[in-house]
Amino acid sequence: MNNERPLAAALALTASLFLLSGPAAAQDEGDTTRVRIGVGAQVVPSYPGADEVRWRPLWDVGRARPGETFGFEAPDESFGIPVISTNGFEIGPILNYEGSRKPDEVGAPLDKVKATFEAGVGADYYLSDNFRLRAEARRGIGGHDGWIGVVGGDYIMRDGDDYLFSIGPRVTLANGRYHRAYFGVTPEESVRTGLSAYRPGGGIQTAGASASFLYQLTPRWGLYSYAKYDRLVGDAADSPIVRAFGSRDQFSGGLAVTYTFNWTK
């Protein structure tokens, strides 16, 4: 499940659930692909370093071939398509979306940071069925124009598709350009806000953990939830913006309803 997706996409998925589930569900399960759609809501920090949260749609689409379980996906990983998959290793392109930061959200006349699409590469390595390592590297296209990366691991407990629980640590890193967009204070901004000028460098941005739980209520309907905590560290934590208007503690979480159906092309 991805953390930042447009509302229109969530509405489109909801419509597809009703359009596709009827005819597909009548097919023989042994000859069809199972599709699981999750639609719900989540709260995420209003912007990196914020002390408030904002509502966002939460959605996901999973597919399982006949005789297979749905693949694991952590709630905070970017949307991606593996192009190489061998011996427990997967790698492929990823895409993420980071919302804008507006002066009125901060409560001070800081420069606006435009919404940013982040494109890059994600890689997974399964040490076993219960342990997965993951790394992402993304480059902002517009907006912050910086580099951001995430490394982490997940311990996974599951009983087929009846339930799945995951938990694991996360470390986020970013370069100086990213940190300066969200945590820096230019001399001009210093004059306008009264904050001390600040030019952060790159390095570790946050350390935290993420957990998720998916439970199948019936063969069709299920519930999905997640919670995540990050603690700002290093240059990001020392930002005058964070000290005056934000918080070093970053929380997010969400709840979604899932629907599983059979689909034959």
Q: How far apart are CA 171 and CA 204, in angstroms?
A: 7
Contact of 255 with 40, CB cutoff 8 Å: yes
In a domain, 34, yes or no: no
* Domain at 242, CATH number: 2.40.160
Tell me, what's the pLDDT at 20?
43
Tell me, what's the pLDDT at 18?
39
Q: How far apart are CA 141 and CA 96, in angstroms?
A: 10
In a domain, 20, yes or no: no
Q: Which residues have a Cβ under 8 Å from the Cβ of 164 and sit 6 or more positions away? A: 72, 156, 157, 158, 212, 213, 214
Query: What is the block-wise mean pLDDT of the chain (265 residues), using blocks of 10 residues?
Result: 44 43 41 91 97 94 91 93 94 95 95 97 97 98 96 97 97 98 97 97 98 97 98 98 98 97 83
In a domain, 91, yes or no: yes
In a domain, 195, yes or no: yes
SS3 241: helix
Tell me, what's the pLDDT at 263?
84
Q: How many domains does the chain have?
A: 1
**Which tens digits make up the pLDDT trace of 153-180?**
999 999 999 999 999 999 999 999 999 9
With CA atoms as reference, report the closest residue to 74 among 179, 212, 201, 240. Answer: 212
In a domain, 210, yes or no: yes
In a domain, 229, yes or no: yes
With CA atoms as reference, report the closest residue to 166 among 180, 152, 148. Answer: 152
Could you tell me the pTM of the whole model? 0.84
Tell me, what's the pLDDT at 32?
83
Q: How far is CA 14 from CA 21, 31, 59, in A?
A: 11, 25, 9
The pair of three-digit structure tokens given for residue 20, joined into one six-digit string: 């596709």
Domain membership of residue 127 as a residue range: 73-257
**Which tens digits make up the pLDDT trace of 208-253?**
999 999 999 999 999 999 999 999 999 999 999 999 999 999 999 9
